[in-house]
């Protein structure tokens, strides 16, 4: 073996080891983070509040009030998490466990997908490793108490079924999985439509497959929607569709999504994805071209649409990164084979392989991050314990609108989350706005709360001026008890009624 061959081999195994290390790193971080008793992200607590209501047999989709306003998502994640919470007890842990195991399912599906498509475990490892490597740029979100990992698991499972199975039963299963994804997060619809179109195009002589796929999806998704809307007296569609669609568009994200979110961190993956489609087009492998083009369009489209909306954080990018990971995995063996067929000299082939492995190494290095920044410290935990004791010592109700569930840890009643309040107040559908504003104003005028803890002074959603005054700040140290992802905020100010 020549020196160049050894160099290419070393590069290949360095990349494979790097991919495996990213997977191991994610699993290690998740295991360390799951038991943390406070929020890793500032809206996690609201998810726990939703699960608490499910366990208490209360409806999620009700008229908005200072007591509770639901988030804008369908209910499946909350019900699945409630099932786990029956065994573990309420708190952040059961919700994070659902997300963690869903994310492991996503990693496994990506590995199995690429392994089946390419017959290469190495390409499969690269794909799964790239998705794990995107953990931080995807918001460090896969293991937290939010809906995204479960939504993605159902979506990838549906796409996998469509890609590798061609029976009537498989299309029914895929339709069920797409519906479950939609009932976890609405943006699944954007990714589902191209997949259904692909089946219809592939089966244009016999539309039964597409009818089964699309029909199953529509019957379940629409059926559950109609039932939930009926039992909630219209509040379900109000939150999940009207309020959710009212978020304004961030104009700068039209192009920044493609430049900053996709091309900048995933340049090599994007180039390999385009190379794969181009080669398959030349080879007239129309099935590959159509499926992967539509699959990528749906997944990137879902991320783009979510990112365009005000408040769209890095977690919006997770579907796009999953698609690019799969495309990189299926592209690598095609690129290696292309080089071997087109180049005649052994040295040229070796250099081409070395260049590819070096490019892959650069792709993984670009995604490197400091894992310590993703783990709350003992000082964070101690500060949280101190906050809970402070809240517990208050004689009366405590309103903590920026952080759900924390008041419950202090033995107090939980209330509406400010993000859900904000969504209702900016909605173009005024059905709930006046109701909510009146209820908040009445609660403040009646001074129902012995203390109100806020992250910012005088938020627009909570008009305090006439009834409450700021009395003290909560923390002495600036760096403690801040979430490790999302909006880096914490309770800062204690407001009490005017004397």
Look up the domain containing 342 and give its range.
72-373
Structure tokens at 81: 């998490």
Q: What percent of the chain has pLDDT over 70?
A: 98
* Beta-carbon count within 10 A of 330 CB: 23
- The answer to whether residues 473 and 492 touch, using CB atoms and an 8 Å cutoff, is yes
- The answer to whether residues 15 and 133 touch, using CB atoms and an 8 Å cutoff, is no
d(CA 328, CA 270): 8
Please return the burial class of 462, using the count of CB atoms within 10 Å of its CB with bins 0-12, 13-18 and 19+.
buried
Higher-pLDDT residue of 153 and 6 is 153
* DSSP states of 312-352: --GGGGHHHHHHHHHHHHHHHHHHHHHHHHH--SHHHHHHH
> What average pLDDT score do residues 253-266 get?
95
* 60-92 tens-digit pLDDT: 999 999 999 999 999 999 999 999 999 999 999
Q: How confident is the model at residue 204 (pLDDT cuts 50, 70, 90)?
A: low
- In this structure, the answer to whether residues 141 and 206 fall within a common structural domain is yes
- In this structure, the answer to whether residues 443 and 339 fall within a common structural domain is no
> Residue 358: in which H helix or E strand, if any?
helix 346-366
* Beta-carbon count within 10 A of 137 CB: 18
Whether 369 maps to a domain, the answer reads yes
Q: What is the pLDDT of residue 338?
A: 84
Q: What is the pLDDT of residue 348?
A: 75
Give me the residue label for tokens 């504003």.
437
- In this structure, the answer to whether residues 395 and 268 fall within a common structural domain is no
* 433-485 tens-digit pLDDT: 999 999 999 999 999 999 999 999 989 999 988 889 999 999 989 999 999 99
Q: How many CA atoms lie within 13 A of 158 on its CB side?
A: 33
Least confident of 189-193, 233-237, 343-347, 492-496: 343-347
Whether 127 maps to a domain, the answer reads yes
How does 288-325 read in b/e, with b if 16+ C-beta sit within 10 Å? bbbbbbbbbbbbbbbbbbbbbbeebbbbbbbbbbbbbb
Residue among 89, 44, 106, 10 at smallest CA distance from 484: 44
Least confident of 138-152, 269-283, 347-361: 347-361
Q: What is the pLDDT of residue 206?
A: 64
Whether 349 maps to a domain, the answer reads yes
* 10-47 tens-digit pLDDT: 899 999 999 999 999 999 999 999 999 999 999 999 99
* Contact residues for 279 (Cβ-Cβ < 8 A; gap 6+): 334, 338
- In this structure, the answer to whether residues 102 and 138 fall within a common structural domain is yes
Q: What is the pLDDT of residue 350?
A: 81
- The answer to whether residues 454 and 491 touch, using CB atoms and an 8 Å cutoff, is yes
- In this structure, the answer to whether residues 307 and 201 fall within a common structural domain is yes
d(CA 287, CA 406): 51
* Contact residues for 38 (Cβ-Cβ < 8 A; gap 6+): 92, 376, 380, 381, 384, 406, 481
Pairing of strands 449-454, 397-399: parallel
> What average pLDDT score do residues 283-297 get?
94
- In this structure, the answer to whether residues 359 and 381 fall within a common structural domain is no
- In this structure, the answer to whether residues 188 and 331 fall within a common structural domain is yes
- In this structure, the answer to whether residues 363 and 393 fall within a common structural domain is no
Among 331, 348, 373, which residue terminates a domain?
373
Q: What is the pLDDT of residue 305?
A: 96
- The answer to whether residues 184 and 147 touch, using CB atoms and an 8 Å cutoff, is yes
Whether 47 maps to a domain, the answer reads no
Q: What is the pLDDT of residue 210?
A: 86
Q: Please check the confidence at residue 3 and state whether its pLDDT lies above 70.
A: no
Phi, psi of 330 (to 5 degrees): -75, -20
* 404-441 tens-digit pLDDT: 899 999 999 999 999 999 999 999 999 999 999 999 99
Q: How confident is the model at residue 205 (pLDDT cuts 50, 70, 90)?
A: low
* Beta-carbon count within 10 A of 397 CB: 16
- The answer to whether residues 453 and 412 touch, using CB atoms and an 8 Å cutoff, is no
Q: What is the pLDDT of residue 106?
A: 98
Interhelix angle 208-231/168-182, nearest 10 degrees: 30
Q: What total number of domains does the chain contain?
A: 2
Among 373, 400, 428, which residue terminates a domain?
373
* 326-380 tens-digit pLDDT: 999 999 999 998 877 777 777 777 888 889 999 999 999 999 999 999 999 999 9
- The answer to whether residues 406 and 383 touch, using CB atoms and an 8 Å cutoff, is no
d(CA 359, CA 362): 5
d(CA 235, CA 341): 61
* Contact residues for 350 (Cβ-Cβ < 8 A; gap 6+): 2, 4, 5, 7, 8
Whether 44 maps to a domain, the answer reads no
Whether 1 maps to a domain, the answer reads no
Give me the residue label for tokens 């569930």.
405
What global pTM score does this model have? 0.96
d(CA 13, CA 396): 61
| DSSP for residue 243 | I
Q: What is the pLDDT of residue 288?
A: 92
Q: What percent of the chain has pLDDT over 90?
A: 87
Q: Please check the confidence at residue 7 and state whether its pLDDT lies above 80.
A: no
The CA angle 92-97-98, to the nearest 5 degrees, is 105
Whether 45 maps to a domain, the answer reads no
Among 324, 349, 373, which residue terminates a domain?
373
Q: Please check the confidence at residue 499 and state whether its pLDDT lies above 80.
A: no
- In this structure, the answer to whether residues 311 and 394 fall within a common structural domain is no
2: phi > 0 → left, psi -120 to 50 → alpha, else beta; which?
beta
- In this structure, the answer to whether residues 217 and 344 fall within a common structural domain is yes
> What average pLDDT score do residues 211-215 get?
93
- In this structure, the answer to whether residues 167 and 299 fall within a common structural domain is yes
- In this structure, the answer to whether residues 263 and 401 fall within a common structural domain is no
Whether 196 maps to a domain, the answer reads yes
Q: What is the pLDDT of residue 347?
A: 72
> What average pLDDT score do residues 226-240 get?
97
Q: How confident is the model at residue 1 (pLDDT cuts 50, 70, 90)?
A: low
Please return the burial class of 21, using the count of CB atoms within 10 Å of its CB with bins 0-12, 13-18 and 19+.
middle
């Amino acid at each position: 073996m020549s020196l160049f061959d050894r160099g290419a081999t070393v590069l290949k195994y360095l990349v494979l080891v790097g991919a495996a290390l990213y997977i191991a790193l994610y699993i290690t971080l998740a295991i360390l983070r799951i038991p943390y008793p406070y929020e890793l992200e500032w809206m996690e607590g609201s998810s726990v509040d939703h699960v608490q209501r499910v366990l208490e047999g209360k409806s999620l989709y009700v008229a908005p009030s200072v007591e509770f306003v639901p988030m804008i998502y369908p209910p499946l994640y909350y019900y699945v998490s409630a099932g786990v919470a029956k065994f573990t007890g309420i708190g952040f842990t059961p919700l994070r466990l659902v997300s963690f195991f869903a994310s492991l399912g996503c990693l496994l599906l990506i590995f199995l997908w690429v392994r089946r498509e390419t017959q290469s475990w190495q390409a499969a490892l690269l794909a799964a490793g790239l998705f794990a490597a995107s953990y931080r740029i995807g918001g460090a979100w896969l293991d937290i108490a939010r809906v995204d990992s479960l939504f993605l698991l159902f979506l990838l499972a549906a796409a996998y079924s469509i890609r590798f199975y061609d029976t009537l039963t498989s299309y029914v299963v895929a339709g069920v999985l797409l519906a479950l994804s939609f009932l976890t997060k609405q943006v699944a619809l954007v990714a589902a439509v191209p997949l259904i179109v692909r089946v219809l195009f592939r089966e244009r002589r016999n539309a039964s497959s597409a009818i089964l796929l699309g029909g199953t999806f529509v019957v379940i998704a629409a059926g559950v929607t109609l039932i939930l809307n009926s039992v909630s007296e219209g509040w379900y569609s109000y939150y999940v569709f009207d309020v959710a669609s009212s978020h304004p568009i961030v104009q700068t994200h039209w192009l920044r999504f493609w430049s900053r979110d996709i091309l900048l961190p995933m340049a090599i993956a994007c180039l390999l994805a385009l190379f794969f489609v181009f080669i398959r087009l030349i080879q007239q492998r129309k099935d590959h071209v159509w499926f992967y083009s539509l699959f990528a369009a749906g997944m990137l489209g879902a991320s783009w649409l979510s990112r365009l909306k005000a408040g769209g954080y890095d977690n919006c990018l997770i579907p796009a990164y999953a698609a690019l990971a799969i495309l990189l995995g299926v592209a690598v063996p095609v690129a290696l084979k292309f080089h071997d067929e087109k180049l005649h000299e052994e040295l040229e082939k070796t250099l081409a392989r070395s260049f590819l492995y070096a490019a892959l190494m650069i792709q993984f290095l670009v995604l490197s991050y400091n894992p310590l920044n993703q783990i709350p410290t003992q000082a964070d935990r101690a500060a949280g314990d101190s906050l809970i004791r402070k809240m517990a010592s208050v004689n009366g109700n405590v309103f903590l609108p920026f952080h759900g569930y924390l008041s419950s840890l202090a033995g107090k009643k939980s209330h509406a989350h400010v993000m859900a309040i904000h969504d209702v107040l900016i909605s173009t559908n005024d059905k709930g706005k006046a109701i909510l504003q009146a209820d908040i104003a009445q609660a403040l005028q009646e001074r129902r709360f012995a203390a109100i803890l806020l992250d910012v002074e005088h938020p627009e959603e909570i008009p305090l001026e006439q009834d409450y005054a700021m009395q003290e700040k909560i923390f002495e140290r600036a760096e403690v008890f801040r979430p490790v992802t999302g909006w880096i905020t914490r309770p800062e100010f204690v407001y009490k009624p005017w004397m």
